[in-house]
Structure 1
Amino acid sequence: METEFKITRKSREIFNQYFENYTLEQLNKIPQGHNNNLIWHIGHIIVSQQALVYKGANQQPNVSEELIARYMRGTKPERDATQAEAEEIRSLLFAPLEKTEQDYRSGLFTSYNARKSELGFDLLTIEDAIAFNNYHEAIHLGIMLQLRKLV
């Protein structure tokens, strides 16, 4: 699992660079022909990790239900994110991951609600969920690599 956690941390470092390299206006811009923006993808990967790991293991997520509702699968930006919201999202790139690692090592995740992901992956254990999260984040990073050329 150390490799999985290392991959997730590296992924989040890449997402963090968007806050340094793009203005709030660019992070909020929805390019023509798309239904979301750079900051939505970052918020989405944060809440998806929490849902995959914590909700899947019947545990309380480490982000607000409001944030989950705003960035969960099937949502799209209803308005531009404010500077304060962008700072909140940025602050959540790493702290919840550190908590996940601590919780995993301490044995918090004693069960997992097995299911098939929307992409057809069997998620049978917490380890499956953590590994699948890395795949999911890579998909969104790929989309963001395209979007950044349009903002």
Structure 2
Amino acid sequence: MDKIFEATLFNRNKLLTILESCSDEQLNFVPKNFNNSIIWNIGHVLVTEQLLVYRLSGLELKIEESYVNMLRKGTSPLQDFTSSQIQYIKENLIRTVEITRKDYQSNLFRSYQSYPTSTGIVLNNVDEALQFNAFHEGIHLGVVLSLIKLTQKI
């Protein structure tokens, strides 16, 4: 599982670099024919990892519940994210992966509620959740990279 954490941290560091290099206006911009923004996609990966790994293991999330309601699957930004919300996402991108790695190494994840993803893949344990999460985050990194090209015009 070390490679899964390595890949996830690589992805999160790329997303953090993007967060630090874009203005709030760029982060919040939703281009025509898109449903969400750069910041929504980055926040969504933060929330999804917590739901797939912690919630489905019956454990307390390491982020505030209000972010789950804003960023879970099926949501889209109803308003611009504030500077403090963007800062919260920045502060938790790396921190949550490090906590998850530590908790995994400590065998904290003892039970798991099976979950059928929207791709049709059924997750049956935390190992499968972590592997799927790395795949999911890669998809959203690709979306973010596409959105960056569209926001360079604003």
Q: How does 1:13-92 map to 2 (within 5 A)?
A: 13-92=13-92
Q: CA deviation at 1:115?
A: 2.4
**1:107 Cα shift?**
1.0
Deviating runs (4+, > 3 A) in structure 1? none
Residue 144 of structure 2 is matched in structure 1 by 144
3-state secondary structure, aligned to 2:135: helix
CA deviations over 1:38-97 (Å, ceiling 9, x no partner): 000011000000000001111111011101001000111111111111111100101111
Inter-partner Cα distance in structure 2 for 1:87 and 1:99: 19
CA distance in 1, matches of 2:51, 2:5: 16
Structure 1, unaligned stretches of length 5 or more?
none
- Counterpart residue type for residue 64 of structure 2: S
Which deviates the most, 124-133 or 139-148?
A: 139-148
Instruction: Work out the CA distance in 1 between the residues paired with 2:72 and 2:122.
Output: 20
The equivalent residue for 2:97 is 97
**One-letter amino acid of the structure 2 residue matched with residue 83 of structure 1:** S
Q: Which residue of 2 aligns with 1:117?
A: 117
Counterpart secondary structure, 1:103? helix
Residue 116 of structure 1: CA displacement?
1.9
- Matched residue count: 151
Q: CA deviation at 1:122?
A: 2.2
Could you say what secondary structure the match of 1:98 adopts?
Answer: helix
Unpaired runs of 5+ in structure 2?
Answer: none
C-alpha separation between the residues in 2 aligned to 1:29 and 1:86? 13
Alignment RMSD:
0.8
| CA–CA separation in structure 1 for the residues paired with 2:28 and 2:111 | 38
SS in 2 for 1:107: coil
In 2, Cα distance between equivalents of 1:27 and 1:99: 26
Once the two structures are TM-superposed, the CA of residue 142 in structure 1 deviates from its matched residue by 1.1
Q: Hey, what's the Cα distance between the residues in 2 that align with 1:25 and 1:113?
A: 39
1:131 is matched with which residue? 131
